[in-house]
A and B are shown apart, each in its own frame.
Chain A
């Protein structure tokens, strides 16, 4: 009986944990509850992935009302794949959070920090699992509101301004999304995504459809931090507590990519009205610009966290590049990169959290001589950096390989050159770290010798190991991505 209820339990468990934590009011108990909830939702996500692998699509009617009338949870290959990533990152960051958050968030607010983390996790899982357009907006709001608070709990006063700017941009993005859904509802009469995709080709009036597509795309790319709309991301990631940055970098933007994929292929792919509208070319151009400029800006950043934030914007450019190619290899590359980048960036930010805890800041002047002071942490960062560049044997390489394959398949050579070329820029900013950590003598600001606490190192190294493991044995991530890509393209 429980197996049938999994989709609902996946989101409800963290959602229920939050109010219980607020009632608990003690940080230790709150952390234990958060840990239990995130691990159980990770277990449910894995069980769901197996269910979907067997059954193809898992559909679950909320409140036993049949889909077009009630709200439906619809998890397919793509959904299950992203769910495992999000729940996995949630489960990995939760133990890390105990020491790292205790150092960065004032004591009285710690239990609320955990409650917000639970709500953010529930929101993100809810977005991926739902099959209803408006329900997606509601969970998008839950995830975003809790993210604003998580960012604002950072120690630095600038985190408040970063949170405020993100709130303004995020709310505009969410409202744009609602306008898009409104227009779609007016044309098709339904809110259920699958039902909408079925009824869309029948609609003759194309103008509002194109406008709806434009609104949804702009709204989602605001949350995605696609190139022209990414201004909130560097500040938000830099000034947020390190555990939050790690969790957000690995999941928040990836969930928005999932929504973009869902809308682009499931809903808009079906109707012929979008053949002539140059969405693909626009996305292609935007992602190309994103990759180049964001990587260049990343090289000149004084603060390592801000550098990685800009590199995140560039990496998201890779993912959207894969989507814009709209062929099997490109799409698989995009989905695989979604997974690989999540692990890599998560590992890097977790390790940086350890440095920030011991040295107070993560800027380059205090990274000098890190190689000797914190050998394990800096070595982990180097491996993460290699995976960012895409050196063979690491996860990054796999996704870049598929992206290049997709570019060749489309016959656009400059795309393949772009992907490889920008990896060189990535080498530049990873080298900056290697040079600071290993070649320079420890400066005045660098931390006293002594490793980061074990509670921080274990989860970080778990992710670094995952980077390498998924680089070598690609059965899980490429397999999952290929089936998801096939499913989406099949829908066209």
Chain B
């Protein structure tokens, strides 16, 4: 399903439809994430990935004009690059543990502590929020700083300068 949407994005020339397709793509991704029990992430992907980025893209398109020029004349170079990366990736994933075997290292090493003591230590049933805010709270501070940087950066770039620069 998502593969079809992605191919659509590649082929599509009119930018407006590409943006809409990107929105559809994000919503599809959100549904897949719900299927994978990633409820928090699905919600974020839906609201942030589909909502805000589509709004931003549309706002930018309004300023930038929605038509795309003819595609690149020599597409074979990127294709070759893409195929090389495919090879490396498939090679890499062969050795990975199967889809959901509980014996995989990620389930056995660090996570059990979060799951078992999470409620006792932080009193927060939603382990994801507990890990996000408390166990790895510093990551989230960095993340908020990233959002802040983007915000300040956009202000710096787009603030109208009185004299035409």
Direct A–B touching, Cβ under 8 Å: yes
> Is the beta-carbon distance between A149 and B153 smaller than 8 angstroms?
yes
Within 8 A of A (CB), among B107-162: 107-111, 113-114, 134-139, 141-143, 145-146, 148-150, 152-153, 155-157, 159, 161-162
Pick from B94, B97, B141, B165 the residue with the most CB of A within 10 Å: B141
Question: Contact mask A377-405 → B, CB, 8 Å, 1/0?
Answer: 00000000000000000000000000000
Choice from A116, A134, A206 contacting B95 with Cβ under 8 Å: A206
Choice from A18, A63, A199, A206 contacting B148 with Cβ under 8 Å: A18
| Contact size range, A | 35 or more
CA distance A293 to B46 in the complex (A): 47
| Contact size range, B | 35 or more
Q: Which residues of A contact B91 (CB under 8 A)?
A: 207, 210-211
Closest residue on chain A to residue B155 by CB atoms: A112
Q: Which residues of B contact A116 (CB under 8 A)?
A: 149, 152-153, 156
Choice from A106, A141, A203 contacting B161 with Cβ under 8 Å: A106
- Min Cβ gap B47→A in Å is 20
Choice from A112, A122, A138, A215 contacting B156 with Cβ under 8 Å: A112
Closest residue on chain A to residue B114 by CB atoms: A69
- Besides the known contacts A145-B153, A211-B93, 4 further A-B residue pairs in the complex with CB atoms under 8 A apart: A108-B161, A119-B152, A138-B142, A186-B106
| B96 close to chain A: CB less than 8 A | yes
> Is the beta-carbon distance between A187 and B105 smaller than 8 angstroms?
yes
| B3 close to chain A: CB less than 8 A | no
Binding site for A on B (CB under 8 A): 88-89, 91-97, 104-111, 113-114, 134-139, 141-143, 145-146, 148-150, 152-153, 155-157, 159, 161-163, 165
CA distance A115 to B152 in the complex (A): 8
Choice from A22, A68, A138 contacting B109 with Cβ under 8 Å: A68
| Contacts A/B (CB < 8 Å), 6 sampled | A18-B148, A116-B152, A119-B149, A142-B149, A145-B153, A188-B109
CA distance A135 to B88 in the complex (A): 26
Binding site for B on A (CB under 8 A): 15, 18-19, 22, 62-63, 65, 68-71, 106, 108-109, 112-113, 115-116, 119, 122, 126, 134-135, 138-139, 141-142, 145-146, 148-149, 152-153, 155, 183, 185-191, 199, 203, 205-208, 210-212, 214-215
> Is the beta-carbon distance between A152 and B157 smaller than 8 angstroms?
yes
- Min Cβ gap B61→A in Å is 17
- Min Cβ gap B90→A in Å is 9
Known: A106-B161, A190-B109. A62 touches B137 (CB 8 A): yes
CA distance A206 to B95 in the complex (A): 7
Closest residue on chain B to residue A70 by CB atoms: B135
Q: Which residues of A contact B161 (CB under 8 A)?
A: 106, 108-109
- Min Cβ gap A116→B in Å is 7
> Is the beta-carbon distance between B104 and A212 smaller than 8 angstroms?
no
Closest residue on chain A to residue B134 by CB atoms: A63
Q: Which residues of B contact A203 (CB under 8 A)?
A: 105
Choice from B143, B145, B153 contacting A15 with Cβ under 8 Å: B145
CA distance A189 to B105 in the complex (A): 5
CA distance A18 to B148 in the complex (A): 9
Closest residue on chain A to residue B160 by CB atoms: A108
Choice from B110, B111, B138, B153 contacting A63 with Cβ under 8 Å: B138
CA distance A148 to B95 in the complex (A): 37
Q: Which residues of B contact A22 (CB under 8 A)?
A: 152
Q: Which residues of B contact A112 (CB under 8 A)?
A: 152-153, 155-156, 159
CA distance A108 to B155 in the complex (A): 10
Q: Which residues of A contact B104 (CB under 8 A)?
A: 186, 189
> Is the beta-carbon distance between A211 and B92 smaller than 8 angstroms?
yes
Choice from A106, A126, A186 contacting B142 with Cβ under 8 Å: A126
Q: Which residues of B contact A122 (CB under 8 A)?
A: 145
Closest residue on chain B to residue A189 by CB atoms: B109
> Is the beta-carbon distance between A207 and B134 smaller than 8 angstroms?
no
Closest residue on chain A to residue B148 by CB atoms: A19
Pick from B93, B142, B148 the residue with the most CB of A within 10 Å: B142
